[in-house]
Amino acid sequence: METLVYKRPESLLKNGRFTFCPGCGHGVVLRIIAELIDEYNLKNDTIAISSVGCSIFLEKFFDLDVAGASHGRSPCVATGIKRCKPEKFVFTYQGDGDAATIGFNETIHTACRGEHITTIMINNTNFGMTGGQASATTLVGQVTTTTPEGRKAELTGYPLHAAEIVAKCDGTAYSARVAITDSKNIMQAKKAIRKAFEAQIKGLGFGFVEVLATCPTNWHMTPSEAVQHITDVTEKVHCIGVYKDITEQEKL
Amino acid sequence: MAKVLVKGNEAIAKAAIKAGCQCYFGYPITPQSEIGEYMGAHMPELGRNFVTAESELASINMVIGAGVTGTKAMTSSSSCGIALMQEAISAMCCAQVPGVIVSVMRGGPGLGNIAPAQGDYFQAVKGGGNGDYKTIVLSPSTVQEAIDLTYRAFHLALKYRNPVMLLADGILGQMMEPAEFGEYPYKDPDVSEWALDGANNRPARNIVSLHMPDGELEQLSNQLFEKYEKAAKEETTYEGFMLDDAKLVLTAFGTVGRIAKAAVIRARKKGMKVGLFRPITLFPFPDKQLHEAAKKADMILDLELNHGQMLLDVRSAVFGACPVEFYGRCAGGLLTPDTILEKVEKLYSELDSKKEAGVK
């Protein structure tokens, strides 16, 4: 007897191929998003907003309408879209360089306004596409191309904790940080992203999920070392957890 | 509809609403804050969108969000605020996103001052953003024209899928004069062929400004410039006043255009053959029409509230057909009919004496 164990999500392009480096975390998260869009039957009503960095090529993977945004401005583009099309499902897909560094002001204000959009932020603690420079979320001591001796707090300060700050905003309905280091955590990540979807679907406010993801190429590690690094090091600084959740409330 | 006494900034806001603007996204800055205040008071009661954005970066990118859905949207700002929008304006041109930007110029550079000026001609017409692109720029000289050109800005933004800038200055923004709000006169194109609204019963679409594959961006860029050519053919407008027999032609845009017009009337009363050529579209610039006017004239005097910005386009259009002189003030210094007339009389008498001496 045949049992279906894998089905490609309808929301992914049939001939689309991920172009990420081996061991990169992006593919896992994009697949989770595609699965949830299918589960909520949102494929025909979704507008995705790409950003700048490794998160830019959404239209090459998703079989969805996609709008591009300049570096850090995806939440503003999403705001404009959602205000015009409140019945559509609108999400941004950004990295830490985009959502937590150049665009953190936009992230915070979008949360404070309680825009009914969802933001998924991949945090691999560096600017991946440009070759691994330090970002706002880079760990103290982390070696990057712009911190060759490791990030020194006395010179460049401390990593920014996006999920915790977003959770402090009154307009936020859901904010969490997850990791995608093993099956259990991937299931947890999917659960969190589902909640961030529901925050929008129920009209409760801004939904935000920060995903700790691997960047083996720029971390100069093997894929399995990179996964272990998140568990052993990254999670100690960027702690996984749900920082705000009002999704159990019905719309007021 | 009867004329009403209305302030320039309010007139622009009210005209935008009449033009069907569904979204206003803005950030306060003098001397245009009345636009946002009017929108804040009236858009919500009409069930339309008003958001005070966290910055000009945010407001113009919200306009992009509305624009990709084919919805009419506007932002407004002044000089340094418009500077912050340049990255997005470039992206709008590349991704072909419609949107209206109102720029009410103040003194610069830097924070400058809040006095009227025209130092942002280059910023608007030549663009402060990256890459090869063109913004359609409309330049009103009266409150009535600000209303009419606001209507036109919304139409052209959709017709060309391009940002359109209404370039006014602090005088026009702050002055009150009688004006009439006619009905929106344009039939806007259907946006359903390209706008994003979810891939329902059609293939997925994308509106992006990154084009990495070999040759793709050059091909797009060529298409954009074909579009700008079409705009130049179909949209170029200017006001010609007493040009037919003019020996001295004044060129001026926006508020200076109306001041220059007053100077032309006075000069004519004194028997001098002076005319005015006032570009209304700054891009597309009426270069062929100005060249024709220059061929019939002995001299052009360009008047601006800056150190000579449109002057470069004037010289380029005139292309040696006659000499071009410049007279300007900047950063709050004003040209008046009196000071313009003084300059006109001096140049005119020089022209006469040259003629007597047989010099062309």
* Span B234-263, pLDDT tens digits: 999 999 999 999 999 999 999 999 999 999
Distance CA B57, CA A106 (A): 9
B57 CB near a chain A CB, below 8 Å? yes
The answer to whether B359 contacts chain A (CB < 8 Å) is no
Task: Give the number of C-alpha atoms closer than 13 A to the C-alpha of residue A112, restricted to the C-beta side.
Answer: 11
Q: What is the average per-residue pLDDT within B186-210? A: 95
pLDDT digits (tens, 9 = 90+) for B21-39: 999 999 999 999 999 999 9
Of A62, A84, A108, which has the smallest distance from its Cβ to B69's Cβ? Answer: A84
A66:B204 CB<8 A: yes
Judging contacts by C-beta atoms under 8 Å, the chain B residues touching residue A51 are none
| Mean pLDDT estimate for chain B | 96
Residue B58 is nearest to which of A65, A81, A109, comparing CB atoms? A109
- Residue of chain A nearest B59, judged by CA positions: A76
Distance to chain B for A119, nearest Cα, Å? 15
pTM for the full predicted model = 0.96
User: For A145-200, what is each residue's pLDDT tens digit?
Assistant: 999 999 999 999 999 999 999 999 999 999 999 999 999 999 999 999 999 999 99
A 10 A CB-CB count for B194 gives: 13
* CB–CB contact A109 B53 (8 Å): yes
Per CATH, B4-235 and B239-356 having the same topology is answered yes
Q: Shortest CA distance to A74 belongs to which of A44, A45, A109, A41?
A: A109
CATH number attached to the domain at B239-356: 3.40.50.920
Phi, psi of A145 (to 5 degrees): -70, -20
Q: Which of A68, A73, A108 sits opposite B207 (nearest CB)?
A: A68
pLDDT surpasses 50 at A234? yes
B207/A88 CB distance under 8 A:
no
Which pLDDT score, from 0 to 100, does residue B351 have? Answer: 86
For the stretch B67-86, pLDDT in tens is 999 999 999 999 999 999 99
Please tell me the predicted confidence (pLDDT) of residue A4: 86
Residue A37 DSSP label: H
Question: What domains are defined for chain A?
Answer: 26-245 (3.40.50.970)
Q: Distance (Å, rounded) from C-alpha B129 to C-alpha B226?
A: 20
Block residue for tokens 């360089």:
A97
Interval B276-335: pLDDT, tens: 999 999 999 999 999 999 999 999 999 999 999 999 999 999 999 999 999 999 888 899
* A1-29 mean pLDDT: 91
B209 Cβ under 8 Å from any chain A Cβ: yes
Position B20 pLDDT exceeds 90: yes
- Which of B:78-97 have CB within 8 Å of A? 87-88, 91, 95
Distance CA B185, CA B359 (A): 50
Nearest CB partner across the interface for A70, out of B73, B91, B204: B91
**Residues B64, A56: C-beta atoms closer than 8 Å:** no
Closest-CA residue of B relative to A108 is B54
Looking only at the bridges linking them, the beta strands covering A172-179 and A206-212 are: parallel
The predicted pLDDT at position A252 comes to 46
**Chain A residues with at least one Cβ partner in B under 8 Å:** 13, 43-47, 49-50, 56, 58-59, 62-70, 73, 76-85, 88-89, 105-106, 108-109, 113
Superfamily of domain B4-235 in CATH is Thiamin diphosphate (ThDP)-binding fold, Pyr/PP domains (3.40.50.970)
Partners of residue A81 in chain B, C-beta under 8 Å? 65-66, 68-69, 196
* A77, pLDDT greater than 80: yes
Question: Average pLDDT for residues B5-15, to the nearest whole number?
Answer: 98
Q: Taking the domains of chain B in order of start, what are their residue ranges?
A: 4-235, 239-356
Distance CA B80, CA B37 (A): 19
Q: What is the mean pLDDT of residues A57-78?
A: 96
Q: Which two tokens stand for residue A232?
A: 């052993």
